[in-house]
Amino acid sequence: MILLLSFGVHDLPAVNAILNAVAALLLITGYAFIRQGKWRAHASTMLAAFIVSCVFLICYVVYHLNVGSVKFDKPGQVRTVYLWILGTHTVLAATVPVLAIITLRRALRTEFDRHQAIARWTLPVWLYVSVTGVIVYVMLYLVRPRL
C-alpha cells in the first residue's frame, strides 16, 4: 500500500490494470491449486486475490473521486465494442464484492460445501471482471484512433 501512495492520481488507471491482471492470475492459480487438492495453497492464493481486489477498489474509488468519469472518444465500431465490454464489466463488477465476501466467509467458517456451491459462480464472474478491467484500460488509455 505504501508503494501505491508514491503514485499520482493520474497513474492509478495503470495501477488498476496491473492490480486487475494480478487478481486474474491469482484466481487462475488458486483454481489450479484446489483442482490439485492443494487446499492451503488455494486458500492463501484466493485470500491474496481478495486483498489485491480490495486494493484495486480503493484505488479505483480514489481515482474517480478525483478525476470523475473518463469519456471514450474513439469513433466507430471500436466504440460499440468498448461500450459492450464496459457495460457487462460494470454490471458484473457490482456483484463481485458481494460474491467474494460470501465465498470467503463460507470458507473461513469451514462451510466447504456451501463455499464450493457459490465459488462455482464467483470464480467466473470475478475472473471476467478482472480480465475485462484490463481490456477496458487498454481500450481507454492505450488504443489510438486511426486517422
Q: Highest-confidence range of 3-7, 82-86, 138-142, by mean pLDDT?
A: 82-86
Q: Are 85 and 135 in contact (CB under 8 A)?
A: yes
In angstroms, the CA 36 to CA 43 distance is 13
**Please, what is the Cα angle at 141 between 140 and 146, to 5 degrees?**
80
Q: Are 95 and 125 in contact (CB under 8 A)?
A: yes
Domain at 13, CATH number: 1.20.120.80
Burial category of 76 from C-beta neighbours within 10 Å (exposed 0-12, middle 13-18, buried 19 and up): exposed
Number of structural domains found in the chain: 1
pLDDT tens per residue, range 9-50: 889 999 999 999 999 999 999 999 999 999 999 999 999 999
Mean pLDDT calculated for residue range 85-93: 97
pLDDT tens per residue, range 93-131: 999 999 999 999 999 999 999 999 999 999 999 999 999
pTM given for the model:
0.90
The answer, yes or no, to whether residue 4 has pLDDT greater than 70, is no
Grid cell in block for residue 52: 489485491
In angstroms, the CA 36 to CA 33 distance is 5
Per-residue confidence (pLDDT) for residue 91, from 0 to 100: 98
**Please, what is the Cα angle at 86 between 84 and 90, to 5 degrees?**
120
In angstroms, the CA 62 to CA 12 distance is 9
Mean pLDDT calculated for residue range 82-99: 97
Per-residue confidence (pLDDT) for residue 73, from 0 to 100: 87
| 23 within domain boundaries | yes
| 47 within domain boundaries | yes
Q: Are 130 and 20 in contact (CB under 8 A)?
A: yes
| 115 within domain boundaries | yes
| 66 within domain boundaries | yes
Mean pLDDT calculated for residue range 44-64: 96
129: left (phi over 0), alpha (psi -120 to 50) or beta: alpha
Domain that holds residue 111: 2-142
The answer, yes or no, to whether residue 2 has pLDDT greater than 60, is no
The answer, yes or no, to whether residue 144 has pLDDT greater than 80, is no
Per-residue confidence (pLDDT) for residue 75, from 0 to 100: 86
| 147 within domain boundaries | no
R_g of the chain, CA atoms, integer Å? 17
